[in-house]
Chain A
Amino acid sequence: MFRNHLKIALRFFLKNKLFTAINVFGLSIGITAFILLIQYISFEKSYDDFITDVDDLYRVTLTTNLGDNGFVTSATNHPTVGAAMVADFPEVDSYARLMDKPIPLGGTVHFSYTNPLGEEIKTSAKDDYIYFANNEIINLFDISLIQGDALTALTEPNSIILTKKIAQRFFGNEDPIGKLLEINDNFALQVSGVFEERPENTHLPMGMIISFNIFGQEGDFANSWVWPEFYNYVKLKPGMDPSTVNAKFPSFVKKYLGDIMNEHGFEARMALQPVKDIHLKSNLLKEISPNGSNGTLYFLLLVAGFIIAIAMINFINLSTAKSMERAKEVGLKKVVGANRTTLINQFLYESLIINFFAIIVSFVLINVLISSFNSLIGFEVLNFGMWAKWQVWLSLFGIFLVGGILAGLYPAFVLSGFEPIEVLRGKFHKTTKGNALQKGLVIAQFAISIALISGTYIVYNQFSFMQNQDLGFNSSQNLVLAAPTYKDSTTQHKIETFKRELIQNPQVNNAALSDEVPGSAIIQGNTIRQAHEQIEQGVNANFVTIDQDFIKTYAINLLAGRDFVKEDATTMYSRNGPIANGHRVLINRSAAKSLGFMNPEHAIDQKMIYKFGPIDRTAEIIGVVEDHHQQSLQKAYDPIVFMNFKGFGASYITVNLAGDNIRETSNQIESTFKEFFPDDIYNSFFIDDYFNRQYQADSKFGTICLIFSILAIFIAALGLFGLGSHMAMQKTKEISVRKVMGATVIQALSIIPKKLLSLVLISGLIALPIIYLITINWLDNYAFKIDLNIWMFLVPLLIVLFVAAISIISQSLKSALINPAEALRNE
């Protein structure tokens, strides 16, 4: 029996090549997209899974209400939290504390190693994921040491461990253990261990880890409760419930932070955050690396489901449509004794065979697409090793079985239900019962397509809006150099001279020193208030130290008052300690507003207090500048206080270039830099590139959305094309009757779009409110966003209508052009 089914099926496929091709092609694209997206999703879900005890591992977060933004939760905490928890909570097994490199090392870091031949190997370490951490990090995060002792590798104050790849960069084939690495030509570290490369799917990528003990007693981190800039991880004892620890935090916080909270008038809370949740569910202040988002994953999962659903709907619709041609076969088989079950089985087999072909095609497609998919995602999500996993085969088999049966069931029932007498009498009229379902499925396809187009369109609009918005500063032709490392007191003077030398160049308009440039979060900040206000009235603000040329170089608008001049620079510390008075600052519009000034003019010549380190400093506001986008437009404007200190350690030198010969000018700047600072590594970037790298994740997401939306629409169009030929066939009679009644070809054809229009409109009514709610929700993530307008919803509707009309009319044209006598002859 099966052989007979197979034979009939294969002959039917051969005879109906277009039908078979559309089904196989559509299904295989659907399956491919589904598998790829599922692999990506499971990659994102697998973050930090490789850590053995990840289920007992937590990060301790800190929530405070300093400032006017209400409670804000930060990923970092005080450096003492872990140790205090181990001491106070019996549930806590051990802790690790980490400090990110910019805090002690500043923006510019380079390492150098002098080998036995006397050659110096020096590299910038800006992409190397460097942290300071205590030895427990090795145990907590499963760092597998190839060389060195896991129990002591980070106990010595000057020890460093690094990955195999980085070790090779410095030491080649030499044994790295015991070798000396110098940071910024300043202090030396001894290599005490080499570890395996960390997997890519971790929120905490590691390249080099320097012993936390290097700070010795100097920083006194063991007792500090005023510096919440450290990542604290704790491991609970096996089987311990984090909620019992969370319940103890209020009294814990009171014990250690009570006095400080009283003094500053704020409230702090702590909580355990599972490390497993960090990558997808955490979006805190000072995250250690950019995280993914669960929402994005759900969206992609939805898209994956949609794509495969569209492909299956195609199959159902086409098979049902084709069933008219199979009616005679069914009738005859019934007459000669086939029962309904056999017939249902036969059509299910056909569905499974089509699905089997599709699986084979998508197996090939997936293998072809592996590398381009990886480069699209930016991680090695897929590799050929995936075929060794039984889960992949199981999911393929699942799709095959579920898809085949689900898609085959309805057509099988319709086909097997034909009455033999009617069929064989030759007066077989199509039953209308299938129409509602068919219409429903087509509406579902349209609705999905409309939603996807509209969603993608809005996402793209938002992204291009963000990239084209005026940033509030001059973002073109600003070349930023990483400032040289500070070796001694002469460095500062050298930098000043270097800057003057640059301005001599006719191709350079201006140059400025600063400790921040636009494009990333500002590290420094504390509370500010008007001079007559009490400490509890302080609001959070960010601090940027600049020189007198910064505002000009970045062309930031001055709203009131005046810009810095050279004489405004004040001394920060004297021999007797910090200088508390006589500073002058610029503030931006947001800062003026949070300080409570009605308008920028009111702030001029007013005194304000800002906390800097442990003490209050008083400064005169000499000017107010317009807000600029320090970070991507996802973030709101930061309140910023611009300070101007004599001899501050600038991290960046920004050079505003004139003219078109940018390449030549930047080459000249590079050689000047090397003359001045022969020991340093030249590192430069254009501010617009630097700023736009914030949009990488977004534009990746946008591209993925776009590609898969196009795929979904393509498959839907494919199905419509097939269905169109069927619909056209069904309508041949009507078209012919109309032609005989005097309709022209165009008039006769116009009946099809009219019917389509109602289907598309219904789909639009279903899809658009949903997509409206989803996009409104999504746009809420962005501080600066586009206004939704009616076209964002109408255009997708029109596109779907257009694609549908084209695919159907191209088919109907055939029936409109044939001789009506032909179509009406045999009935």
Chain B
Amino acid sequence: MLLQLNNIFKWVQQGGQRVFLLKDINLQVEEGEFISIMGPSGSGKSTLLNVIGMLDGFDEGEYNFFDEPVHQLKEKHRANLYKQYIGFVFQAYHLIDELTVYENLEMPLLYKKLKGSERKAMVADMLDRFNIVGKKDLFPSQLSGGQQQLVGVARALISKPKLILADEPTGNLNSQQGIEIMELFKELNEEGVTIIQVTHSEKNAQYGKRIINLLDGRKI
């Protein structure tokens, strides 16, 4: 089992009252799954994804990742965990404007303390695989949205994660670009990468093997 959420609660205090962002979430994810999280705006989709990605904490419940109790881990240990196993893809790509495509891809490897030659090989692999060798010296602003997201996915994949978390990966893309990204996800999943995506689109959700619906922080 890849990860397991048991009775997860998350809330904020507002005017002396608890407003629940996540309410009693239970979820088991096996390796190789492709899950789509759906729900209306404000239903807690992104919050859930952030909790799974360990970017955000929770107030109650248990979270086991590869049998490690995330809720008991220290910040540093937790960071090591997600650095090693999780890759993130964002709706707004979040590429760094001042870095070229090549440098954006290389960045996560810098923080893994890989040697220069290794990094070079891995980046070259990725550029090859996504067919963007010709664009490696361009800056994000010189790319179309679809291409930027391609780089975003490549960056998420470069450190060979077990799990990819994608928050509305096609939200800023036109339909043709969106289809390409979803096809890519499907391919990756077939190669064994676990994917959890948040989406509004019924069509994109269908790429997943399992759909989780949220409403007001609750799984339905």
Q: Mark B41-55, 1 if CB is under 8 A from A, else 0.
A: 000001000100101
Complex contacts, B82 vs chain A, CB 8 Å: 742
B83 CB-CB contact with A under 8 Å: yes
The chain B residue with its CB closest to the CB of A748 is: B111
Asked if A819 and B107 sit within 8 Å, CB to CB, the answer is no
Asked if B159 and A742 sit within 8 Å, CB to CB, the answer is yes
Complex contacts, A433 vs chain B, CB 8 Å: none
Q: Most chain-B CB neighbours within 10 Å: which of A734, A819, A821?
A: A821
Asked if B55 and A740 sit within 8 Å, CB to CB, the answer is yes
Tell which of B79, B90, B111, B159 touches A738, judged by Cβ atoms closer than 8 Å.
B111
Asked if A742 and B108 sit within 8 Å, CB to CB, the answer is yes
Asked if A742 and B96 sit within 8 Å, CB to CB, the answer is no
The chain B residue with its CB closest to the CB of A747 is: B111
Asked if B46 and A742 sit within 8 Å, CB to CB, the answer is no
Asked if B155 and A741 sit within 8 Å, CB to CB, the answer is yes
A733 CB-CB contact with B under 8 Å: yes
A743 CB-CB contact with B under 8 Å: yes
B56 CB-CB contact with A under 8 Å: yes
The chain A residue with its CB closest to the CB of B91 is: A827
> In whole Å, how far is A377's beta carbon from the nearest beta carbon of chain B?
49
A125 CB-CB contact with B under 8 Å: no
Complex contacts, A820 vs chain B, CB 8 Å: 55
Asked if A742 and B112 sit within 8 Å, CB to CB, the answer is yes
Tell which of B55, B94, B98, B112 touches A819, judged by Cβ atoms closer than 8 Å.
B55
Q: Mark B141-167, 1 if CB is under 8 A from A, else 0.
A: 000000000000001000100000000
Of residues 89 through 124 on chain B, the ones whose CB sits less than 8 Å from some CB of chain A are 90-92, 94-96, 98, 107-108, 110-112
The complex places the Cα of A737 from the Cα of B91 at a distance, in Å, of: 13
> In whole Å, how far is A439's beta carbon from the nearest beta carbon of chain B?
13
> In whole Å, how far is A417's beta carbon from the nearest beta carbon of chain B?
19
Complex contacts, B83 vs chain A, CB 8 Å: 742
Asked if A741 and B92 sit within 8 Å, CB to CB, the answer is no
A825 CB-CB contact with B under 8 Å: yes
| Known contacts A742-B112, A742-B159, A747-B111, A819 near B56 by CB under 8 Å | yes
The complex places the Cα of A737 from the Cα of B98 at a distance, in Å, of: 13
Asked if A827 and B92 sit within 8 Å, CB to CB, the answer is yes
Asked if A821 and B108 sit within 8 Å, CB to CB, the answer is no
Complex contacts, A72 vs chain B, CB 8 Å: none
> In whole Å, how far is A638's beta carbon from the nearest beta carbon of chain B?
63
The complex places the Cα of A733 from the Cα of B93 at a distance, in Å, of: 11
Q: Mark A795-827, 1 if CB is under 8 A from B, else 0.
A: 000000000000000000000000111001101
Complex contacts, B185 vs chain A, CB 8 Å: none
Asked if B92 and A740 sit within 8 Å, CB to CB, the answer is no
Q: Mark A726-769, 1 if CB is under 8 A from B, else 0.
A: 00000001101110111110010000000000000000000000
Complex contacts, B110 vs chain A, CB 8 Å: 743
Asked if A821 and B55 sit within 8 Å, CB to CB, the answer is yes
Tell which of B46, B50, B91, B111 touches A741, judged by Cβ atoms closer than 8 Å.
B111
Asked if B111 and A737 sit within 8 Å, CB to CB, the answer is no
B88 CB-CB contact with A under 8 Å: yes
The complex places the Cα of A824 from the Cα of B53 at a distance, in Å, of: 13
Complex contacts, B46 vs chain A, CB 8 Å: 825
Asked if A741 and B107 sit within 8 Å, CB to CB, the answer is yes
The complex places the Cα of A819 from the Cα of B50 at a distance, in Å, of: 10
The complex places the Cα of A738 from the Cα of B94 at a distance, in Å, of: 10
Of residues 190 through 214 on chain B, the ones whose CB sits less than 8 Å from some CB of chain A are none
The chain A residue with its CB closest to the CB of B156 is: A741
Asked if A824 and B111 sit within 8 Å, CB to CB, the answer is no
The complex places the Cα of A734 from the Cα of B95 at a distance, in Å, of: 8
Asked if B50 and A740 sit within 8 Å, CB to CB, the answer is no
The complex places the Cα of A737 from the Cα of B79 at a distance, in Å, of: 13
The complex places the Cα of A821 from the Cα of B49 at a distance, in Å, of: 10
Asked if A821 and B107 sit within 8 Å, CB to CB, the answer is no
Complex contacts, A827 vs chain B, CB 8 Å: 90-92, 94
Complex contacts, B91 vs chain A, CB 8 Å: 827
Asked if B79 and A742 sit within 8 Å, CB to CB, the answer is yes
| Known contacts A733-B94, A827-B92, A743 near B55 by CB under 8 Å | no
| Known contacts A747-B111, A819-B56, A734 near B159 by CB under 8 Å | no
The complex places the Cα of A519 from the Cα of B182 at a distance, in Å, of: 89
> In whole Å, how far is B170's beta carbon from the nearest beta carbon of chain A?
15
The complex places the Cα of A736 from the Cα of B90 at a distance, in Å, of: 12
Q: Pull 10 A–B residue pairs with CB atoms less than 8 Å apart, ordered by A.
A: A736-B94, A737-B96, A740-B88, A741-B107, A742-B79, A742-B111, A742-B159, A824-B90, A824-B92, A827-B91
Besides A744-B111, A821-B53, 12 more A-B contacts (Cβ < 8 Å) are: A736-B94, A737-B95, A742-B79, A742-B83, A742-B111, A743-B110, A747-B111, A819-B56, A820-B55, A821-B55, A824-B94, A827-B90
When A and B form their complex, which 7 residue pairs have the shortest distance between CB atoms, in order from nearest?
A: A742-B83, A742-B111, A827-B92, A821-B55, A741-B108, A821-B50, A821-B56
